[in-house]
Amino acid sequence: MKIISYNVNGIRAALKKGFVDWLKEEQPDVVCLQETKANKEQVELDEIEALGYQTFWFSAQKKGYSGVAIFTKIKPDQIIYGMGIEEYDFEGRMIRADFGDITLINSYFPSGTTGGPRQDFKEQYIIDIQEFVDELKKERPNIILCGDYNICHTDIDIHNPKKQQKTSGFLPHERQWVSDFIASGFIDSFRVFNQEPHNYSWWSYRAGSRPKNLGWRIDYQMVSEPLKDRMKSADILSQVVHSDHCPIVLEIE
């Protein structure tokens, strides 16, 4: 099972930049998209469906904002839309698909870069998603939580870590949350296969950040401990450019 997670920063914009050709070449079984910025009826899906994908969308109520989607060649046993918490579901923050004994959660974590209320919103979200996953694990222990977490975990996950200590996305308590989430029974799948620095999944559009590889690793596929021995590979596809993020890939039995 090849799973890709990708913040496309607007699916309609990505489609104009060759997204379908890339999808045809890459051939993932499941694609989890964040920041779709569109409702399903606003997107031309014929070419995607022709590749064998069913598409499931959970869009924000606000037009052109946030939103998540799952494209899958494997028929899911069920799709569940949202977390059941109104303020997050209003923004289209989570969609879940169950495939046999595996539960795949696709989430677009809030950004706190504007500070103030949005940072508070982000910090409440990470508390609530931990509680949500803790409860879900009781009945569905095999969980993959993929998406844009909007948090770098360690110094090797961000360029110039000393300068970023007071920046949302690299605040000490945000980083501690990632550590605590992992300690609760999850594995950062990429770091199982690659311990090297300078592997990033997002770059600012400013100052030529991407060509200089001045990036952040804020996209993850976190895998619950019972799935540890079923992981086959994980990678960051930094050469793929349809967005300010790039796709990340996990292969699992």
pLDDT at 200 over 90: yes
| Catalytic site includes residue 148 | yes
pLDDT reported for residue 35: 98
How does pLDDT run across 88-138, given as a tens digit for each residue? 999 999 999 999 999 999 999 999 988 899 999 999 999 999 999 999 999
Residue 35 burial class via C-beta count within 10 angstroms: exposed 0-12, middle 13-18, buried 19 and up:
buried
- Per-residue pLDDT, 129: 98
Q: Residue 232 belongs to what domain range?
A: 2-252
pLDDT at position 112: 94
Q: Among residues of the chain, what percentage have pLDDT more than 90?
A: 98
Summarize pLDDT for 141-179 with one digit per residue, the tens: 999 999 999 999 999 999 999 999 999 999 999 999 999
Strands, sheet with 102-108, edge to edge from the N-terminal-most edge strand? 78-81, 94-99, 102-108, 143-148, 219-224, 186-188
CATH of the domain at 124: 3.60.10.10
Judged against a pLDDT cut of 90, whether residue 207 lies above it is answered with no
Q: How many CB atoms lie within 10 A of CB 250?
A: 28
pLDDT score for 227: 98
**Distance, C-alpha 233 to centroid of its chain:** 17
Integer Cα distance of 189 and 51 in angstroms: 27
DSSP per residue, 126-165: HHHHHHHHHHHHTT---EEEEEE-----SGGGBSSGGGGT
Catalytic residue from among 29, 98, 134, 148: 148
| Number of structural domains in the chain | 1
